[in-house]
Amino acid sequence: QEMLGVSFETLEAVGAVSRETAVEMAEGALKNSRADLAVSVTGIAGPGGGSVQKPVGTVHFGLAAKKRKTEHFSANFDDLGRDDVRLLAVAKALELISNSINCPSEI
């Protein structure tokens, strides 16, 4: 919360695994660093911890860049096991960064 500036109200209202939290995380990382681009990842990798509304494998991403509107992306990687969900989330985050760098006008 402190480092990224995610509000207590957001966490209370929608939880750590949500669109709103991912966006606040990315915007906070960008604001509190010298970076030009920030990506955030929040999700439920398992084992356990999922629910009907947020099953294991649910992942939210935020992508913030200077002078651009923050974007949100989500994925459900299913309950593939903690390591695989985390690996797929990292791959997706890197893809978002790559796409942003290669096609900056589209984001």
Residues 2-12: pLDDT tens digits?
Answer: 899 999 999 99
Query: What's the whole-number average pLDDT of the chain?
Result: 94
Is it the case that residue 17 has pLDDT exceeding 80?
Answer: yes
pLDDT score, position 101:
84
Task: Locate 19 and state its tokens.
Answer: 């669109």
Third-level CATH fold of 8-106: Maf protein (3.90.950)
Nearest to 5 by CA among 62, 57, 60: 62
The domain limits of the chain are 8-106
Nearest to 59 by CA among 22, 7, 11: 22
Portion of the chain with pLDDT greater than 70, in percent: 95
Torsion over CA of 105, 18, 55 and 99, rounded to 10 degrees?
10
Tens of pLDDT, residue by residue over 42-70, are 999 999 999 999 999 999 999 999 989 99
Task: Locate 12 and state its tokens.
Answer: 């209370």
The pTM of the full predicted model, rounded to 2 decimals, is 0.92
Contact by Cβ (8 Å): 36, 97: no
